[in-house]
Structure 1
Amino acid sequence: MRKEHDFLGELEVSDELYYGVQTLRALENFNITGKRLDRDFIRSMAMVKKACALANMKTGRLDATIGKAIVRAADEIIAGGFVDQFPVDPIQGGAGTSFNMNMNEVLANRGLEILGKPKGSYDIISPNNHCNMAQSTNDSFPTAIKVCAILKSKPLLAALQRLVDELERKAEEYKEILKMGRTHLQDAVPITLGQEMGAYASGVRRGIRRIQSAIAEAHIVNMGATAVGTGLNAEPSYIKDVVDELSAVVGEEFHTADNLIDATNNTDIFADISGGLKVTALVLIKMANDFRLMASGPRCGIGELKLPPRQPGSSIMPGKVNPVIAEVLNQVCYQVVADDLAVTLGVENGQFELNVMEPVIAYNLFNSMCYLKNGVNTFVDKLLIDLQVDREQCQHWLDRSVGIVTALLPHVGYENASMLAKEAYSTGRAIKEIILEKGLLSEADMNHILSPAEMTKPGIAGADILKTHGN
């Protein structure tokens, strides 16, 4: 055991641990979620600390021997090491100070070990004086959130692009499958299944653009702002150098905020990112619900889609298979919407020169990015790739629908169209059958007017027939 102290007193720390007294205080105070810090967030904070050490060495303020030891320790954490040495709860008071000091202590003690010195020799490498040099939690913590959000956006955006690509493949595959469009949950006019799939792809692409736009703003950071944005204890050259070093460490181009005070006390960028996730989730909820409805049945519902069977659907009803993959995407998206509310409240509740609610903002933001990525990949892998269509059922509902009469208006007139619709509803007969019976159109003309190519594009279906007949 070793003894460490802060201004509240002294605590014993196991020599096996790389963290120290301030981390122990956090463990005593914050037993909230029962979860550990996000691993990408740990790596992101280590990247920030590495950039700070490099910049402080460049200004000459940090001794090179100490600085290199800190950089090496940071590199080991960035590579995935020492994860078990970050036990603090993701939700914590203090605006992230607990995590910042947890990182500083691990860097200091690992740095001491690299130099052949015993852990806790803070007169040689100090968590505060060296690992936190020219910094405050108030600039390093939100910068780490931004770095982590950028890192997490890459696999998330890749998952969403996979979804777009697969939907577009389905749009091409199903471009000739005509089916009933529906509005108000009632029959409307025909549409192709390919057009529906293309529309889903378009909505997801819009979500990608929203997220990308918000992530672009995350490259503006407040490093060098220190406590309240005035840059106290940070040299002007450091403020420039630290952003350059961070860009090199992360592999992304970061920029110093024009107004460091604003960038320190406002966290609206996180609301932008979370809002992009939420709106994308709303688009996905609608899409997943449409899939569930089109696959309903299979015998007593709409039954146009055949979702791949992934598990037995009931503990009591033999042979039942449920749309579990669409259901899980729905639930993932509900959680993203809920997380966004927590982020929104966190962003709203900053006061004066700091928003102390950044831990809960980070926790929910990272969860949403992870859940949405996993949910979308699951939907693509377990449902969309092996999706099948019941073409006969699509045609069945189309033939029984009265909605196709809309396409016949220019050819038979409103009165005849109304008569056809009324008779079809009252007798249950197909519109096509009644048209042929009454001799309103030839079978060839009717099939041409009601073909997918004519029914699902702008203009009058069968306009060439009107011209031929002189109308």
Structure 2
Amino acid sequence: MQGEFRISRDSLGEVKVPKDAYYGAQTQRAIENFPISGLRLPRRFIRAQGIIKYSAAYANSTVGDLDQRLAEAIMKAAEEVIEGKWDHQFVVDVYQAGAGTSQNMNANEVIANRAIELMGGEKGDTSIVHPNDHVNMAQSTNDTIHVAINIAAVEAVYHDLIPELDGLIETLEQKGRDFYHIIKSGRTHLQDAVPMRLGQEFYGYKETLVEAKKTILESLDLLYQIGFGGNAVGTGINAHPKYSELAIEKVAEITGFPFRNPSNRFMFMQNTQGAIKLSGALKNLAIHLIKIASDLRLLSSGPRTGLAEITLPPVQPGSSIMPGKVNPVMAEMMNMIGSQVIGNDATITSAGQASQLELNVMMPVIAYNLLHSLQILSNGIKVFNERSVKGIMANEKRCNELMEQSLALATALNPAIGYDKAAEIAKKAYAKGKTIREVVREEGILSEEQIDYYLDVKKMV
């Protein structure tokens, strides 16, 4: 049994660590202290931690504070973290030590032990590479976890979310063109309203998402501002004067994004403004996606007893008891995602209030919920678009039938006979189960030529 473990040490004493683990004593303590959810910070966050440790080693060696051989080993180990080689070694629960100290030490220990190996030593020999003195040089949990949130979020927005959102916007644009010739009944308060084009409805969805995308991109400026080098409280204690600038330049180089020093580093240390602002923008997107998905469910309802103005692609059976039933499952999935994103934003809002004095101790839960929102939105939008929206078909005959039955067509008679008389016509049509056109003709209120003129739906749209 002894052979399955090695003894690792930290400031509190000795700890048994699995022999093959690349993490060390502080990570092991976190495993034992926080057996809470089984949830871990995701790939994008771990990648961001690797970028931070690589950039720090580069900056420290450049200014002469870190031996070049040590720096090269740390940078190589950090590269492997960036690539995802050691994701299984990042084992700390999301609900962990405040601010993410355990998460930061998890990265420090994994990279230190891998660097030790690369230099010919055995894991745990901190006399070769020390997780605090070397890997964490000129850093603190307080700046690195915050910086990792921003890096991970920016990369997730640009590499994951925006491409899928653009794809859905493009599909809705195409549906707007395809359906533009189809005239249907509009609806307000879920009641008959004046006619509109089916394509106009889809163009409305498209432009809604265009505006939501703008809001997301506008929120990124705060995320580009990273207080890398602020260290514990923002003063940059134990860091070379040029360290921060060099480290941030390296982050920008690796990621390809314009990360920079914040306008005020103490503001950065005290608050998680960027994450809060982006989360709000994601909530805004989620709200509109719920609206669009709900509309598609309504418009496709039926197929015999609902609106049935459009049909959605059948992707799986809809009932365990009703044969042949097919449900709008992709739209329902999108609604669930939207609700979760709204809940994640509520968590981030609450956690954002935990900023006290020079630090927010709730950064791990902010990181998890923000990146969770980005992940499920990106994946959800992709399949929603590919497996549902792209395959939408219009039922032009049904649109025409319902439009002709709409009592709101009486609105077009206002200029000819006035609001009160038009309302009377609408009530009679409803009572008799007839169309507006039929009642106007029966009442002899207008000539056939006038009826055709005022009830020409093409003029109404």
Equivalences for residues 316-355 of structure 1 within 5 A: 316-355=321-360
Aligned to 1:461: none
Contact 1:297 1:303 in 2 (8 A): yes
TM-score by length of 1: 0.94
SS of equivalent residue, structure 2 residue 426 = helix
Q: Equivalent of 1:133, from 132, 137, 154?
A: 137
CA distance in 2, matches of 1:187, 1:14: 68
CA distance in 1, matches of 2:456, 2:239: 72
Question: Using a 3 Å threshold, how does the CA distance of structure 1 residues 415 and 340 change in structure 2: closer, same or farther?
Answer: closer
Q: Does 2:257 align with 1:264?
A: no
Residue 306 of structure 1 deviates from its aligned partner by: 1.2
Residue 65 of structure 1 deviates from its aligned partner by: 0.4
Q: Equivalent of 1:299, from 304, 313, 319?
A: 304
TM-score by length of 2: 0.96
Q: Does 2:381 align with 1:369?
A: no
Q: Equivalent of 1:157, from 148, 153, 162?
A: 162
Q: Equivalent of 1:249, from 249, 254, 259?
A: 254
SS of equivalent residue, structure 2 residue 132 = coil
Contact 2:41 2:367 in 1 (8 A): no
Q: Does 2:64 align with 1:26?
A: no
CA distance in 1, matches of 2:181, 2:454: 15
**Aligned residues, how many?**
456
CA distance in 2, matches of 1:401, 1:266: 54
Amino acid at match of 2:194: V
Q: Equivalent of 1:73, from 77, 89, 92?
A: 77
Equivalences for residues 381-400 of structure 1 within 5 A: 381-400=386-405
Name the stretch that deviates more: 66-75 or 285-294: 285-294
Residue identity (%): 43
Aligned to 2:108: 104
Equivalences for residues 379-418 of structure 1 within 5 A: 379-418=384-423
Q: Does 2:96 align with 1:83?
A: no
Residue 3 of structure 1 deviates from its aligned partner by: 2.0
Residue 401 of structure 1 deviates from its aligned partner by: 1.1
Alpha-carbon RMSD? 1.5
* Structure 2 stretches lacking a partner, 5+ long: none
Amino acid at match of 2:24: G
Contact 1:278 1:336 in 2 (8 A): yes
Amino acid at match of 1:144: A
Deviations, residues 175-220 of structure 1 (Å, cap 9, x unaligned): 1111111111111111111111011111111111111111232010
CA distance in 1, matches of 2:230, 2:458: 62
SS of equivalent residue, structure 1 residue 299 = coil
Question: Using a 3 Å threshold, how does the CA distance of structure 1 residues 452 and 201 change in structure 2: closer, same or farther?
Answer: farther
Amino acid at match of 1:36: R
Aligned to 1:203: 208
CA distance in 2, matches of 1:257, 1:340: 24
CA distance in 1, matches of 2:419, 2:44: 64
Contact 1:91 1:359 in 2 (8 A): yes
Name the stretch that deviates more: 55-64 or 253-262: 253-262
Q: Equivalent of 2:240, from 224, 235, 240?
A: 235
CA distance in 2, matches of 1:236, 1:446: 82
Amino acid at match of 1:46: G
CA distance in 2, matches of 1:148, 1:414: 58
* Structure 1 stretches lacking a partner, 5+ long: 457-471
Aligned to 2:17: 13
Question: Using a 3 Å threshold, how does the CA distance of structure 1 residues 103 and 421 change in structure 2: closer, same or farther?
Answer: same
Residue 442 of structure 1 deviates from its aligned partner by: 5.2
